[in-house]
Amino acid sequence: MTGIWGIVNVTPDSFSDGGRYLDVDRAVAHGLRLRDEGATVLDVGGESTRPGAERVGADVEQQRVLPVIERLVAAGAPVSVDTLNASTAEAAVRAGARIVNDVSGGLADAEMRAVVAASGADYAIGHWRGFSDDMYAHAEYRRTAREVAAELKARMGEAAAAGIAPSRLIVDPGIGFAKVGAQNWDVLRGLDEIVALGPRVLIGTSRKRFLADTLAHGDGEVTEQRRDLATAVTSALALRAGVWAVRVHQVAATRDALAVAHAWEG
């Protein structure tokens, strides 16, 4: 069964649900609703990685995410922490998070791998080439999926060298991270190269710009609803490509799409 990571962004500026869940009570209620809708993991983040986003300090990030994580864990939800900061990862695992979701794959914070190794948490490593303020300057590929797979393999080796067992790793090709337009489709088309790396594969297409661009035909506004429908379709296709879990904002639509895709698989 393909997993569904429900996104709980506790930030005032995230591009798709910015500001709505900054309040702890509302973030917790939102997370629990996503769980009731079928999320298998709640991915809690306190720093936006949207294109051009400014970085926030780890202290601010922790003030945002720790109370939310504590309450979701107390309610029995499996929680992952979406962070680039080792200190936030460490505090989040102490608060009960089981997975550290590091979109930089260990490149953003030199302490991250050691912290994760010692924590016992699972470690999701993303394909990444630089912080959001200039990541598009690095969006150059000849064979996108192949290069992404090769760089993820390097990150896997670094994680192993730091003492993180391969069974604890999850790899993510980082849709939208140092990738523009068609490069994201190249990655999705070449997902078998990512699956062939061995670890569980996570993918995050939810509401991202490349989907909106694909829908931008005619005059109609590309609403959040339309992005969610497009995301549900990518979820179903990701299942068929052998992905282990998808990371989405709108869990219910993806759950239905995955149920249909599972039925198709028989």
247 is known as an active-site residue: yes
Which residue's CB is nearer to ligand PMM, number 65 or number 202?
202
CB 50 within 8 A of CB 14: yes
Choosing from 71, 155, 247, 255, the catalytic residue is 247
Q: List residues binding ligand PMM (CB under 6 A).
A: 7, 9, 14-16, 48-50, 82, 101, 103, 124, 126, 172, 174-175, 202, 204, 206, 247
Cα–Cα distances in Å, from 48 out to 54, 211, 251?
8, 19, 20
CB of 190 to ligand PMM, least distance (A): 16
> 200 has which bridge partners?
170
Shortest distance, CB of residue 176 to ligand PMM, whole angstroms? Answer: 6
| Alpha-carbon span 210 to 26, nearest angstrom | 29
* Residue 14 vs 88, nearer CB to ligand PMM: 14
Nearer to ligand PMM, 2 or 49 (CB): 49
CA 81 to the chain's CA centroid:
10
Rounded to a whole number of angstroms, the minimum distance from the CB of residue 132 to ligand PMM is 9
208 is catalytic: yes
Q: Closest approach of Cβ 71 to ligand PMM, in Å?
A: 20
Question: Which residue, 175 or 261, has its beta carbon nearer to ligand PMM?
Answer: 175
Q: Is 259 exposed, middle or buried (0-12, 13-18, 19+ CB in 10 A)?
A: middle
Measured in residues, the chain has a length of 266
Query: Residue 54 has what DSSP assignment?
Result: P
Catalytic residues: 208, 247
